[in-house]
Amino acid sequence: MVKRQLPQPAELFELMKFKKPELDGRKRRLDAALTIDDLRVIAKRRTPKAAFDYTDGAAEGELSLARARQAFQDVEFHPDVLRPAPDVDTSIEILGGPSALPFGIAPTGFTRLMQTEGEEAGAGAAAAAGIPFTLSTLGTTSIEGVQAAALREPQGPVPARNWFQLYVMRDREISYELTRRAAAAGFDTLHFTVDTPVAGARLRDKRNGFSIPPQLTLGTIINAIPRPWWWFDFLTTPKLEFASLSTTGGTVGELLDAAMDPTISYDDLSVIRDIWPGKIVIKGVQNVEDSIKLRDAGVDGIVLSNHGGRQLDRAPIPFHLLPKVREAVGDDFTVMIDTGIMNGADIVASVALGADFTLIGRAYLYGLMAGGRQGVDRTIEILRSEIERTMRLLGVSSLAELEPGHVTQLQRLTPIAKAASSAVVR
């Protein structure tokens, strides 16, 4: 039998060590977020429905987004045992420069609507972490403002890098001028976007009456009542508008349809290539054939992307496409990937299967909505810790050691073979 005794006070005090209370409410809620999903929950609680749904939603039935996220969940890792990795190197060379981590921040439009610090918070956090930040043509901070935000940061592990995402518009001169401005500001890479000839049907936005600037209705006012902090920020900071475009009225779909041009072609790519002095990658590639054509056309790389599921619903899953594209284009061509990344393990799996780099969009915006600049820092911190932990558990010390053998893509959606055609005799 176990011998019983009265507890000793000294032993009790050892067991009852109280955690020092955190008086900063923002830091307290961000410290409690252990995953990107946790940040999403906080973001939803703190952000009006129209702005949150713009970030969280996708096109039509949102099948592309759901499938992209499911594809990352359907990963089986294969660790190497008895290969200690006490220290891991997460740094990488991408498009002629360094990144401290194998991911950067993807371009997002209307960013100050989600939280008023907007792109400045993203660019500052990226510079501090030593990763690239990508500004959207539809950004709400100017090209020059983003560059200034990055340069205000103390020197991070690597120099600050900014990239610019370009839509080719009906008025080509607007696109040309933006390209020249980004080059003059010191942005080193251009993302020439090809998957947005017209706006996708983003039904959440239609149902919410989402527009720029936001239109107040009884529903939006009722939804805003428990979120006074968002409205205080919105009403006491500079007017929300596109920093690079002069037309700002209308729904998101109307704005995109007015600005984008479904006739863009390789000729437009050639013109932009002549204007842009830095690296150029094509964003929105969705099949092997186009990947090969673009490599042969002399671009510096591609981004496998279905625009976060926000354009063509039921589009290919970039993560599933990745191994086929890598095999087709060879090892010396830059292949990046986005859409559906919500965990550092997703990034590790992508690198193992051939991605040179990855981009996060919604994950960054969830952090921004949850806590402004500190929330973006928390996003990067969460992903960094997940990447490092996954690498250690796989037994790899550097990204270069990751290989396809570390990952199996478990498959749910299997293409049905086309039936052989046969002549019908009448």
As a whole number, mean pLDDT of residues 203-225 equals 74
Could you give the C-alpha distances from 369 to 47, 264, 354, 379, in angstroms and in order? 7, 34, 32, 11
- Decide if 322 contacts 355 (C-beta within 8 A): yes
Confidence (pLDDT) at 421:
47
CA 305 – CA 319 distance, rounded (Å) = 9
Point out the least confidently predicted range of 185-194, 205-214, 221-230. 205-214
Q: Which of 156-160, 216-220, 310-314 has the highest mean pLDDT?
A: 310-314
Confidence (pLDDT) at 200:
86
As a whole number, mean pLDDT of residues 292-315 equals 96
Q: What are the residues facing 283 on neighbouring strands?
A: 193, 303
CA 104 – CA 81 distance, rounded (Å) = 30
Confidence (pLDDT) at 7:
77
As a whole number, mean pLDDT of residues 50-65 equals 93
pLDDT digits (tens, 9 = 90+) for 402-425: 999 999 999 888 887 654 544 444
CA torsion sign for 367, 368, 370, 371 is positive
CA 9 – CA 31 distance, rounded (Å) = 32
**How many CB atoms neighbour CB 81 within 10 A?**
5
Confidence (pLDDT) at 177:
94
> Residue 224 pLDDT > 80, yes or no?
no
> Residue 361 pLDDT > 80, yes or no?
yes
* Confidence (pTM): 0.91
> Residue 9 pLDDT > 90, yes or no?
no
Domains of the chain: 25-154+163-400 (3.20.20.70)
Tracing tokens 């936001």 back to the chain, one arrives at 214
As a whole number, mean pLDDT of residues 356-364 equals 97
> Residue 308 pLDDT > 90, yes or no?
yes
Q: What is the mean pLDDT of the chain?
A: 90
Active site residues: 307
Instruction: Please report which confidence band the pLDDT of residue 341 belongs to, taking 50, 70 and 90 as the band edges.
Output: very high
Confidence (pLDDT) at 423:
47
Could you give the C-alpha distances from 161 to 70, 131, 347, 381, in angstroms and in order? 31, 7, 20, 18
Instruction: Please report which confidence band the pLDDT of residue 198 belongs to, taking 50, 70 and 90 as the band edges.
Output: confident
pLDDT digits (tens, 9 = 90+) for 62-72: 999 999 999 99
pLDDT digits (tens, 9 = 90+) for 138-169: 999 999 999 999 999 887 778 889 999 999 98
Burial (CB count <10 Å: 0-12, 13-18, 19+), residue 306: buried
Confidence (pLDDT) at 426:
42
Confidence (pLDDT) at 425:
43
pLDDT digits (tens, 9 = 90+) for 103-120: 999 999 989 989 999 999
Confidence (pLDDT) at 417:
65
Strands (E), 60-118: 75-77, 92-94, 97-99, 103-105
Could you give the C-alpha distances from 171 to 165, 174, 258, 300, 309, in angstroms and in order? 17, 6, 10, 26, 26
CA 164 – CA 321 distance, rounded (Å) = 25
As a whole number, mean pLDDT of residues 211-237 equals 76
Confidence (pLDDT) at 253:
61
pLDDT-above-70 percentage for the chain: 92
> Residue 288 pLDDT > 70, yes or no?
yes
Could you give the C-alpha distances from 63 to 84, 217, 340, 409, in angstroms and in order? 40, 29, 12, 19
